[in-house]
Structure 1
Amino acid sequence: MDVLMLSRLQFAAATIFHFLFVPLTLGLSILIAIMETRYVRTGDEEYKNMAKFWGKIFLINFAIGVVTGITLEFQFGTNWSRYSTYVGDIFGSLLAIEATLAFFLESTFIAVWAFGWNKLSPRAHAVSIWLVAIASNLSALWILIANSWMQHPVGFTIRNGRAELTDFLAVVTQPFAWHTIVHTLSAAYILSGFFVMSICAYHLLRKQHITFFTKSFRMGLSLALIFSVVEIVQGHMHGAEVAKVQPVKLAAMESLWETTAAAPQYLFLIPDEANERNSVSIGGIPGALSMLAYHTPDATVKGLKDFPKEERPPVTLSFLSFRVMVALGFLFLLLTVVGWFKRNKLVESPGYLKIMLYAVPLPYLAAEAGWTLAEVGRQPWVVYGIMKTSDAVSPIASSQVLISLIAFIGIYSLLGAAAFYLIISHALKGPQVEAVAAS
């Protein structure tokens, strides 16, 4: 394989692994902050114990997320130096804000929270975890703004062979960025809610610490239900924005080959990318795709054949990742709505608890599918319409990237195994018996 493909594989591996930990950090920090706030307001020790129990999982997850995030950013200099040279004035400034404004605040107060249980007042300690939660989400916000600029570059000019920032406000306020922010954070909160519910389901099925895990389950359920609704509504809005600024991605998402007025939405498709057609098309709803993309059933949707072949993204992977993400999004809404009606009789609902126990990988799959669509669907561009990925790769030997790719996979496998072992063992052990009020 050439240096371009190896660099793509290395960045993809690092990103996919890193994003196994990021969403849980974003959502679990908020849940822990709510738990500790309830402890401060009510004096109920069980909420304090809940914050401590889930906090240990949060700390393990956070540590691995930080380590993998740092190595990911280094790749912009090692594997993608031409990209960094070309757009560093814009992309670098956004990452610098993320580090100085959010990451340092997050890192400082997570230490205060972890070691301050017996040194701070309950109110001050609760403030520290809220600062961690706010900083974590601010960190994600700036990274998502940077990624959104790659998807829809605005507020810049090409000068002296480089992209230079001319309108910072345009970069941070563009609609595409805020659609991405809401969509990604909602996915993170859904994942966190399902993670909490899965662990609670394990213990409730065994009738262990019933009060403790019932309260935790309801909190995770509320978070996941609210943002399952938000995700579906906002996902439609995000799709319309994609249709406006990345029409070729929309065509790949829907495997639409011919430009079509009143374009139908098919319930089942099998793309045939080699022959530029769909081998199977079942259940077409006339005008539905036009309505979803442009809010009118008669709108014309541009097909893949109207774009140069070399500027089309991989169709099958974009199509499948989109379908997986959407299908799981509706499943999450169904499961959380059912859970809402069972929230007061969880122990008497073993069938539902078993489903929620084994559903925990699904939000991770949905999140990874979403990022696959976002990044693969942008290809062959690293900065959409401005710079191709093939022009962004560093002028280095393939052997260098191959060695580092193998090293990354080996080290990340060890880190992942250690992290998941620690998280799972702590989760299954449950809270300390002597620290929990009788159920």
Structure 2
Amino acid sequence: MDVLDLSRWQFGITTVYHFIFVPLTLGLSIIVAGLQTAWYRTGKAKYLRLTKFWGKLFLINFAMGVVTGIVQEFQFGMNWSEYSRFVGDIFGAPLAMEGLIAFFLESTFLGLWIFGWDKLPKKVHLATIWAAAIGTNISAYFILAANSWMQHPVGYKINEATGRAELTDIWAVLTNDTTLVTFPHVMFGAFVTAGAFLLGVSAWFLWRRREVDLFRTSTKLALVITLVASVGVMLSGHWQAQLMTEQQPMKMAAAEALWEDENGAGFSLFAIGDVENGRNVFNIEIPYGLSLLATNSLDGGVEGINDIQARYELLYGPGDYRPSIGLAYWTFRLMIGFGGLAALLALAGLWLTRRNRLPENPWFYRLAIAGIFLPFLANTMGWIFTEMGRQPWTVFGLMTTASAVSPNANVTEVALSLVGFTVVYAVLAIIEVRLLIKSIRQGPEPEGGESGATPQAGTTPALSF
């Protein structure tokens, strides 16, 4: 491998690893705030205990997400200095806003929430967790705005003298239509992730008949969140697919292994492609499905890989503008498949727990525990598809990935840092899992806390971490 390949592997590994923690943090932050609101409004001890239990798991995940996210930013200077030189004026703006506004908001108020249980008035303390949750989700918006600019550049001009892209309209960057469709899709995915996590952990307690009344409530909440958010993922994903067809037709064509422009294109279920000759050897498809997905019309036109390649060569010059077709095709299907299974699990759970009953057969509990991984896999496949499907572009239509790599980096340096990051991340993963398992096995605090006193609606008992 050369420096480019190693740098791509390094950034891909660190990005995918970091994003394991992000959606769970986004979803759990709102859920924990909602549970504390329920306790504030009702005074019921079960909501306080659930707030403290899920809050502990949220904090473990949040801390790991912060640690792994910092590493990514260093790579822009070390591995991708040409990219940073070209787009730093634009790409840095939303990231700076994320740090100065959102990160300080979430970190400051999260600290107040952790240490303010027995020091702040109840209403003020509730406001701190909502401020932290809102800050966390605003942070996601700014980061997605930066990423969306790479997918669909807006609000810029090219300075011919310096050869750099310069910001002309920050509002255009922040309201990029790619951002506006990506953000709800990511947020719904985050709630599916958090809902599946709640469901799996709650199922573990119910299976062992521990804290049944408490985790019956948690299970119902998890099932509703997962199913509703899954519907949101599907609807926002449909919107995103249509925008992708317009802005990045090659990515959509690769996702469907569609080689030629076609009206009334079918949605491929399973295809075996001959990439060298630009055709499918075998393909099972749903008639008109792709046109309906991409254009809302059964006979809508969808561009094909070969035709787009020919047009791009005329527009951008000679070169191969196709991503890895097989990777784009299968990550797109795995994303949909894993997400669909999570939705079906939630639907089955709602049926089995109707009228406040609990499943008698342990198979559902086993599936619910295993189902924790489904949204994580779907999120991972989705981001691999999003980023790899854009290749060979780093900034679509403006800068190729090959042009973005640092000219002074060498194979030895990148290989050593790649191995080092991978080993450190593996250790962090072990720590994260062990901390989560230990906290889950300990379970919620006994009702009334360590002192044994039942908390009243107007009190602020300490949160033990």
1:227 and 2:222 are equivalent in the alignment: no
| 2: CA distance, partners of 1:44 / 1:386 | 57
SS at match of 1:184: helix
Q: What is the aligned partner in structure 1 of residue 462 from structure 2?
A: none
CA contact (8 A) 1:7 1:401 kept: yes
Q: What is the aligned partner in structure 2 of residue 196 from structure 1?
A: 198
| 2: CA distance, partners of 1:389 / 1:288 | 32
Q: Which one-letter code corresponds to 1:7 in the other structure? A: S
Q: What is the aligned partner in structure 1 of residue 327 from structure 2?
A: 317
CA contact (8 A) 1:196 1:216 kept: yes
CA contact (8 A) 1:31 1:219 kept: no
Aligned residues: 437
SS at match of 1:21: helix
SS at match of 1:323: helix
Q: What is the aligned partner in structure 2 of residue 12 from structure 1?
A: 12
CA contact (8 A) 1:117 1:125 kept: yes
Question: Once the 2 structures are TM-superposed, how far is the Cα of residue 46 of structure 1 from its aligned partner?
Answer: 1.6
1:427 and 2:428 are equivalent in the alignment: no
| 1: CA distance, partners of 2:75 / 2:33 | 33
Where does the alignment leave 5 or more consecutive residues of structure 1 unmatched?
none
- For residues 218-367 of structure 1, the aligned pairs below 5 Å read 218-282=220-284, 284-308=285-309, 310-343=320-353, 344-348=356-360, 350-367=362-379
Determine which of 428, 431, 435 is the counterpart of 1:415: 428
Q: Which one-letter code corresponds to 1:416 in the other structure? A: A
Q: Which one-letter code corresponds to 1:369 in the other structure? A: M
Q: What is the aligned partner in structure 2 of residue 22 from structure 1?
A: 22
Question: Once the 2 structures are TM-superposed, how far is the Cα of residue 219 of structure 1 from its aligned partner?
Answer: 1.8
Question: Which stretches of structure 1, 4 residues or longer, exceed 4 Å deviation after superposition?
Answer: 434-438
Determine which of 173, 182, 185 is the counterpart of 1:183: 185
TM (normalized to structure 1)? 0.96
Question: Once the 2 structures are TM-superposed, how far is the Cα of residue 275 of structure 1 from its aligned partner?
Answer: 3.7
Map Cα deviations across residues 50-108 of structure 1 (whole Å, 9 max, x no partner): 11111111111111100110111111111111111101111001100000110011111
SS at match of 1:147: helix
Question: Once the 2 structures are TM-superposed, how far is the Cα of residue 226 of structure 1 from its aligned partner?
Answer: 1.4
CA contact (8 A) 1:204 1:347 kept: no
CA contact (8 A) 1:205 1:347 kept: no
| 2: CA distance, partners of 1:307 / 1:244 | 12
| 1: CA distance, partners of 2:448 / 2:204 | 20
Question: Once the 2 structures are TM-superposed, how far is the Cα of residue 347 of structure 1 from its aligned partner?
Answer: 4.7
CA contact (8 A) 1:207 1:347 kept: no
| 1: CA distance, partners of 2:372 / 2:276 | 36
| 2: CA distance, partners of 1:394 / 1:331 | 41
| 2: CA distance, partners of 1:54 / 1:347 | 23
Q: Which one-letter code corresponds to 1:87 in the other structure? A: V
Where does the alignment leave 5 or more consecutive residues of structure 2 unmatched?
310-318, 455-465
| 2: CA distance, partners of 1:435 / 1:397 | 60
Question: Once the 2 structures are TM-superposed, how far is the Cα of residue 221 of structure 1 from its aligned partner?
Answer: 1.9
| 2: CA distance, partners of 1:63 / 1:288 | 42
SS at match of 1:311: coil
| 1: CA distance, partners of 2:124 / 2:222 | 24
Question: Once the 2 structures are TM-superposed, how far is the Cα of residue 329 of structure 1 from its aligned partner?
Answer: 2.5
CA contact (8 A) 1:155 1:170 kept: yes
Determine which of 396, 407, 416 is the counterpart of 1:384: 396
Percent identity for Structure 1 against Structure 2: 46
CA contact (8 A) 1:324 1:366 kept: yes
Q: What is the aligned partner in structure 1 of residue 52 from structure 2?
A: 52
Q: What is the aligned partner in structure 1 of residue 414 from structure 2?
A: 401
Question: Once the 2 structures are TM-superposed, how far is the Cα of residue 233 of structure 1 from its aligned partner?
Answer: 1.2
CA contact (8 A) 2:49 2:447 kept: no
SS at match of 1:404: helix
Q: Which one-letter code corresponds to 1:164 in the other structure? A: E
CA contact (8 A) 1:269 1:278 kept: yes
Q: What is the aligned partner in structure 2 of residue 74 from structure 1?
A: 74
Question: Once the 2 structures are TM-superposed, how far is the Cα of residue 279 of structure 1 from its aligned partner?
Answer: 2.8
Q: Which one-letter code corresponds to 1:385 in the other structure? A: G
CA contact (8 A) 2:339 2:374 kept: no
Question: Once the 2 structures are TM-superposed, how far is the Cα of residue 428 of structure 1 from its aligned partner?
Answer: 2.5
Stretch of structure 1 that moved more, 116-125 or 301-310: 301-310
Q: Which one-letter code corresponds to 1:303 in the other structure? A: G
Map Cα deviations across residues 327-384 of structure 1 (whole Å, 9 max, x no partner): 2222222222222233321254533222111111111000000000100000000000
CA contact (8 A) 2:109 2:131 kept: yes
Q: What is the aligned partner in structure 1 of residue 216 from structure 2?
A: 214
